[in-house]
Structure 1
Amino acid sequence: MPSQAQPIHAVTVESTPAKAKGIMVGLIKARVPAVEKDYNLVHVANCEAIREVKPVLTSLVIAPQVLICSSKLFDDEEEEIREISQRLLPDIKLIMVPHDLHATGGGNAVVEFLVEQITESRLPTRA
């Protein structure tokens, strides 16, 4: 059995909380066992709007290491989130899901994209 690595705290930015939860559950558990085996990902919060990003990031006791943004965001919204998050947490890993990936490829396409981003990151794995 893999050792328990320090948790990797993740925050999502998604206007539909149920969708954010479903994608994170798919990423962490059901659909991608390799991620569950190699990474100790914990979804700690979801921001339904950009105005929630700063208060959420500053209110968490432990700073998140990953921020995942919805595919529904426009370029200017992504840039605003990028500026806010990097000003507050310069080392945070930002994952911007490509525009309309969910609409064109569905939840599985988003999970596959996130798996690729997580596995190519320098996030700590289980020893």
Structure 2
Amino acid sequence: MAATTPKGPYKLVTVNTAPERAKRLIGRLVEALKDTYTIDYVANCETIEEVGPKVREHQPNVLFSASMWSAEEAAQIREIANKERPGIKTHAIPQGLQVERGPDAIVEHLMENVPKLLDTVEL
């Protein structure tokens, strides 16, 4: 069987007030998808104010906002990211998912949604 090269690398930034948790959960996602996608986790923004400067600095292909943000805040994060890097792909984890169902539910949610998102990224 011929080995296929993973797609990527995709540069990922997260927006999460708990950076250690973000790093752990993204680590699980990266590990789970590593045979198909190469994802470089380059930065986390702990506040919405950090989104513009970090996106400018790292020029990520993808940005995830965590489940602690409301739909309005997630929309604001997406808007800022798009302004700094037109065409960036963003994904907002549904508000409250971490609190209601825990970290495994977040990883599951990302596993279901991230491949579809990455397949739309132009590298």
Shared fold, TM over 0.5: yes
Partners of 1:6 and 1:69 lie apart in 2 by 21
How far residue 76 of structure 1 moved from its aligned partner, in angstroms, is 2.1
Percent of pairs identical after alignment?
A: 32
| Structure 1 residues 15-49: Cα deviation after superposition (integer angstroms, max 9, x where no partner) | 011011011111011xx2xx111000110000000
Where 2:12 maps in the other structure, the secondary structure is: strand
2:70 to 71, 74, 93: 74
1:105 aligns with 2:107: no
Q: Secondary structure at the match of 2:35?
A: helix
Deviation beyond 6 Å, 4+ runs, structure 1: none
Q: How does the TM-score come out when normalised to structure 2?
A: 0.88
Higher relative contact order (CA 8 A, sep 6+): 1
Q: Tell me how far apart the structure 1 counterparts of residues 77 and 120 of structure 2 sit (CA, whole Å).
A: 21
Q: Quick check: 2:6–2:35 contact (8 Å CA) kept in 1?
A: no
Q: CA RMSD in A?
A: 1.4
For each residue in 1:66-120, what CA deviation from the matched residue of structure 2 results, as whole angstroms up to 9, or x when unmatched?
Answer: 1000100012211211111111222111110001111111111111111111121
Aligned residues: 118
- Structure 2 vs 1, CA of residues 4 and 26 (structure 1 numbering), >3 Å: closer, same or farther? closer
Distance in 2 (alpha carbons) for counterparts of 1:79 and 1:6: 26
Unaligned stretches of 5+ residues in structure 2: none
Instruction: Mark the runs of 5 or more structure 1 residues left unpaired by the alignment.
Output: none
Pair 1:23-2:37 in alignment: no
SS at match of 1:7: strand
